[in-house]
């Protein structure tokens, strides 16, 4: 994937990656290595100049409608309530759009259940400006899940939060993954986050990005936060940090 024409910036090249149905994968690497480009290629927001992208056995030639996405900035619409922000994807996704008006109560009930799952029961009628950053990000996860995506793409969703709130939300996404069995790809700079949440961690090289390591995480699920203080957990974190430092030097 190259930006700016034939002589433009080469973002990723020779990038090969496969994620199984129901798996939780994390992607880490140096800044500017092409992690966000990878996200946009998988979701069909970008189409590669060379190579192929396949999601759910279908070649990606346009934006993929079985994907939910959550970013570092929740970007909730300030004039809509939290509940109406969560329902927003249903107005866009074809299989729900035509049912939304006639089955509004069903979808509202589903949104309220998601809010309860992430610890926001009773906050549906609040506006985004009435919620803390952590609460907005919880609502953002609900919005990404409301249309029952088969694939959830998370691009640094907890990066702007304090460490305590971030760890709380790790547990929220851990439990959502366990309950719904959705396939998740997480892009993150936080190596502890990657090791705590993922089944496998893909390390990218410096730009042009490619996969230089595929690290299986050996810890059984469910994982609790106490694992963060175990030596074998931190051994993997330090090894990954070394991989990324080496990737920087090779740039």
pLDDT score at 199: 97
CA distance 29 to 232: 21
Contact 67, 53 (CB under 8 A): no
pLDDT score at 210: 94
Residue of higher predicted confidence among 250 and 167: 167
Taking residues 188-214, report their average pLDDT.
Answer: 95
pLDDT tens column, 205-218: 999 999 999 999 99
The whole-model pTM stands at: 0.88
Q: Which CATH class is domain 2-66+150-249?
A: alpha beta
Is the peptide bond between 208 and the residue preceding it cis, with omega within 30 degrees of 0?
yes
Checking if the pLDDT of 59 tops 70, the result is yes
Can you list the pairs that 238-244 forms with residues at least 24 positions away whose Cβ atoms lie under 8 Å? 239/215, 240/28, 240/191, 240/194, 240/195, 240/201, 240/203, 240/213, 240/215, 241/191, 243/203, 243/212, 243/213, 244/28, 244/29, 244/30, 244/203
What percentage of residues in the chain have a pLDDT greater than 90? 57
Of 83, 78, 76, the C-alpha closest to 124 is: 83
Residue 171 contacts by C-beta under 8 Å, 6 or more apart in sequence? 224, 225
Q: What ranges do the domains of the chain cover?
A: 2-66+150-249, 78-146
Residue 165 — pLDDT band, cuts 50, 70, 90? confident
pLDDT tens column, 89-109: 887 766 666 676 777 888 889
pLDDT tens column, 233-248: 999 999 999 999 988 8
Checking if the pLDDT of 121 tops 80, the result is yes
pLDDT score at 97: 64
Residue of higher predicted confidence among 71 and 155: 155
Is the peptide bond between 223 and the residue preceding it cis, with omega within 30 degrees of 0?
no
């Amino acid at each position: 994937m190259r930006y700016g024409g034939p002589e433009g910036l080469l973002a990723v090249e020779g990038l090969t990656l496969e994620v199984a149905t129901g798996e939780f994968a994390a992607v880490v690497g140096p800044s500017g290595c092409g992690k966000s480009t990878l996200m946009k290629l998988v979701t069909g927001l970008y189409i590669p100049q060379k190579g192929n992208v396949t999601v759910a056995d279908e070649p990606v030639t346009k934006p993929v409608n079985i994907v939910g996405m959550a970013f570092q900035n929740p970007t909730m619409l300030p004039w809509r309530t939290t509940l109406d922000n969560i329902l927003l994807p249903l107005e866009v996704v074809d299989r729900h759009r035509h049912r939304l008006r006639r089955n509004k109560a069903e979808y509202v009930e589903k949104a309220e259940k998601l809010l309860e799952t992430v610890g926001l029961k009773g906050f549906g009628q609040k506006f985004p400006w009435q919620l803390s950053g952590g609460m907005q990000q919880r609502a953002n996860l609900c919005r990404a899940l409301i249309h029952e995506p088969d694939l959830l793409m998370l691009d640094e969703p907890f990066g702007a939060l304090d460490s305590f709130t971030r760890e709380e939300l790790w547990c929220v996404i851990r439990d959502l993954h366990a309950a719904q069995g959705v396939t998740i790809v997480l892009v993150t700079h936080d190596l502890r986050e990657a090791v705590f949440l993922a089944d496998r961690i893909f390390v990218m090289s410096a730009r042009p990005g490619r996969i230089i390591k595929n690290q299986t995480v050996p810890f059984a699920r469910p994982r609790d936060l106490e694992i963060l203080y175990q030596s074998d957990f931190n051994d993997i974190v330090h090894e990954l940090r070394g991989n990324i430092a080496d990737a920087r030097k090779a740039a």
